Structure 1
């Protein structure tokens, strides 16, 4: 919350001398700080955006000066990537720094650039090993710090490399936000096809991936590649065989930030793994990973953490695929690519039919919940009873303790308690669709679990989008009260009592399981302390 200190921290890392390693503790601190700022910005808290803007501007002033070395550039890039943030475009070291750092590398002076990049590929593969998620993460922390032209060349060389581990990496790069990474990957996959080493499994991946791609130009190029591959005799119609046996599916409930975690328990022989996917409203599929588990007990423990303490989290495979399709459409609608790790999850679980839903609106979700139109046949009294039951949701579903508004501009200009209450109701009116979407998503989840409260959620979501006054919907009083309580408790400060339902904290747990000894900081979806849900009768 003090941008001056954050700028100083970033500068200390940026100025790492050539040939030296950056301070790990400073990098961890900057990663946590950027992560908190990102979450605050996503939740509408001004200090988050102000912090990120201040650091970005400061790094831009250091760009092209001795204050930003190549080693510092790479370290800062890694912090941004681990915090889930795009790397500032101006983050480039000056030519002198590049020359000094290059002098420390053991590459012949007359070596062709492709030789140098091949050496980098070899080193990355030797360090990371066979894990596709870790391989992608390793490159994700390096590529943004490389000039665009060199980035494209490196990705093309990697995608065309005959090493089998690089083929799925190239497919995942098609979802990268960087145009140079996507172009390099498509170029390299084309080279791979020309060399006769593009596998049928890769073609199956590409056929699935093409519907996930936001950029129209990249999608057209991929379509051309797929057509050429089919003409060459490679068939994407082979039956996909899952490399794992799936032993269970679980889901967390949907928290107040619109985040939801999906877990898939995997088994291959005696080895256990878990695939975890994080969905977030308006962001689509934010994260997706596969991580090994030490034992069956470890796997069960992680699944229970996803479900929530004492909660039954089981879901059907049909629900899993449906909610992934809805999240894909939500992300594409907002211009967000799904997490590249989703490619590995789809491949591991043989979910080859996964496509974005044509319509991911709230009404479409309600139509999916009620395909026979039974809700429309309910009389007014039945609807009133189901909406009134929303006063009891919090007692049965602990996640509702996280349902509150975080924006810090809601009360601008409102001094008295009465004025603040009016301002909050006015703000909630603008958030009808946001909360209706969360409630509709919960309705789909509860229906899959045959929860008797599911119709109450569905009818309440319908009432919200059809304009029912907010003060006639009990759950909106709960959100109203919890928003004031969160504000009074100082929700923007960090403490040790993160919500147990925090989906991003679960993603951090998975990343820690996958990571080498140096672990990245944990993340939560809100960074707030838990709230006790309060029910209130409409006035």
Structure 2
């Protein structure tokens, strides 16, 4: 299945609008599902309980006037939102994939009250007779994209993002309590929260599940045999692709109580269809440790019965280091059971396949997002797979495009290069980045995506274990062995001076600013450009200099391979970009030296890039 990659800076996005979705899988656990699905995005989860969530404004009934008088700007925003919904619904009706969904989410959350209005439209459409299912699907897709962008904003501590997400969660709860939305739309919207990795409190989840089950009262709950049959049908509709099966079912299962999720995945682990058993491995990475441990135990039991293949056993070996202690121990039991039954396990270090792989790494934006792209040529078949890393959080998602023309992947990367820095990356760099992302995610409780296995397999990389790489170690690694004159104080001073031109030769500085509420409050409280810049530099940037130094260290490491050759991609500044490309062997050294300045005791006022970040922070918050 070909999935698209967004052209937004640094981040691959995955609008999940495949026509291969299964209409029966939700019934396996006694619930219905909405039609629309959307790409994942990330942020801190709202954790308010049912009582606090109910304080959100109740949704407007169909045909009921809200009684509000909206300013002209809000009216224009609502007209824009309606036009977007109409266009996406038309695309769905025509059988086209609306590839711009992630970018739409980013634009829409900047419009006043847009998320609230989208929910009102969903309520109105859900109560209409007859109902326009394509329009409902469009609304769910757009709301999901908006939630993804809200999570990204919440991770960057952007003020107001958490409040918008909580208000939508409160509206969802009210709809479940009062019956304002049909059960399938309640479930569909709940799925958008889980797809965006915004966990729903248990009290809210229970109410949502109860609301979606109410129309099915009196109907028997499917037993294991019926569930297995429906899973087999889902596998058939999804081309027996275990990653796609997991992707489709994970968002449906995430809204279910833990016990129901464990039962459903347990049936999958013992299914007769190999792809279903393979997909069950994805729940070893469930964010709930109880679910992950229970799945591992079911897999161990399946292994004792001979239901784990050599290929699945190899995946278990690769995944084992990615898991927290209790889950890792249970997976170890499954691997031991495979060995006891005489299953021949391949070595952990995989041999490089007979294929040509070219890696390209992006720079890092202000939120810490960095992508790696692998362009694969295997016996004339071309594929492109992308991996998103969120520094400070972990590995986020992969996106795959299969069977594409070589020129198509080049055109895609050229388009990407218009909005981000692209560097030729080595396999070693990619392995170290993945190892660092695994360690970061393990420490923060954010497991990697199941599709990471596919990324490693397609790109010919060996098994990777978590290993955090400290920023100071990155800089030391980069500067080791260089002549003294290239890492001396004089060289550092020259690099700091050269960094004044980086906003003209690189794209990453555009997105480097502090977006949190504390920065906004400081900027708004002061007057005078110089006063604001100095205050932000000393009070905001200086205490966080290590975070910026770490981002710059990873950019330097990526840049060590030089600028990626991407055809005739437009340059940010033709003359300066050409000069930078011609001295690629030197620019990564300057990046490393400035990263070292951020990390050591160099006065913050002597780092021009720090002053740039402060100025960008002021500009952003002055424009709010």
The two structures have a TM-score, normalised by structure 2, of 0.70
**Matches of 1:375 and 1:164, distance apart in 2:** 58
CA distance change for structure 1 residues 187 and 305 in 2, over 3 Å: closer, same or farther? farther
- Residue 484 of structure 1: how far off its partner (Å): 2.3
**Matches of 1:183 and 1:196, distance apart in 2:** 20
CA distance change for structure 1 residues 145 and 431 in 2, over 3 Å: closer, same or farther? same
**Matches of 2:299 and 2:364, distance apart in 1:** 38
Q: Select which of 582, 588, 592 maps to 1:454.
A: 588
- Residue 167 of structure 1: how far off its partner (Å): 3.6
Contact 2:363 2:555 in 1 (8 A): yes
Tell me if 1:230 matches 2:342: no
- Residue 261 of structure 1: how far off its partner (Å): 1.0
**Matches of 1:312 and 1:259, distance apart in 2:** 13
Q: Select which of 386, 411, 424 maps to 1:276.
A: 386
Q: After superposition, where does 1:24-423 map in structure 2 within 5 Å?
A: 24-63=137-176, 66-67=179-180, 70-89=183-202, 90-91=204-205, 92-93=207-208, 95=210, 97-101=212-216, 113-179=223-289, 181-213=291-323, 215-238=324-347, 240=350, 245-308=355-418, 313-357=423-467, 359-372=468-481, 378-412=487-521, 414-417=525-528, 420-423=532-535
**Matches of 1:397 and 1:235, distance apart in 2:** 50
- Render the CA deviation track for 1:467-499: whole Å, top value 9, x for unaligned: 211110011122122222333444xxxxxxxxx
DSSP-derived class of the 1:193 partner: helix
Provide the residue aligned with 1:496 in structure 2.
none
**Matches of 2:194 and 2:420, distance apart in 1:** 34
Tell me if 1:428 matches 2:535: no
- Render the CA deviation track for 1:55-108: whole Å, top value 9, x for unaligned: 2234344555534654133211332244343344313436475142367xxxxx
**Matches of 1:415 and 1:430, distance apart in 2:** 19
Q: After superposition, where does 1:457-476 map in structure 2 within 5 Å?
A: 457-476=591-610
- Render the CA deviation track for 1:160-191: whole Å, top value 9, x for unaligned: 21322124322222112134542453244223
* The 10-residue stretch of structure 1 (52-61 or 132-141) with the greater mean CA deviation from structure 2: 52-61
* The 10-residue stretch of structure 1 (22-31 or 145-154) with the greater mean CA deviation from structure 2: 22-31
CA distance change for structure 1 residues 310 and 34 in 2, over 3 Å: closer, same or farther? closer
DSSP-derived class of the 1:387 partner: helix
Contact 1:10 1:55 in 2 (8 A): no
DSSP-derived class of the 1:263 partner: strand
Contact 1:307 1:313 in 2 (8 A): no
Structure 1: any 5+ residue segments left out of the alignment? 104-108, 491-539
**Matches of 1:83 and 1:431, distance apart in 2:** 27
- Residue 244 of structure 1: how far off its partner (Å): 7.0
Between the two proteins, the alignment pairs up a number of residues equal to 483
* The 10-residue stretch of structure 1 (8-17 or 139-148) with the greater mean CA deviation from structure 2: 8-17
Provide the residue aligned with 1:537 in structure 2.
none
DSSP-derived class of the 1:171 partner: helix
Contact 1:251 1:307 in 2 (8 A): no
Contact 2:357 2:459 in 1 (8 A): no
DSSP-derived class of the 1:313 partner: strand
- Residue 12 of structure 1: how far off its partner (Å): 5.8
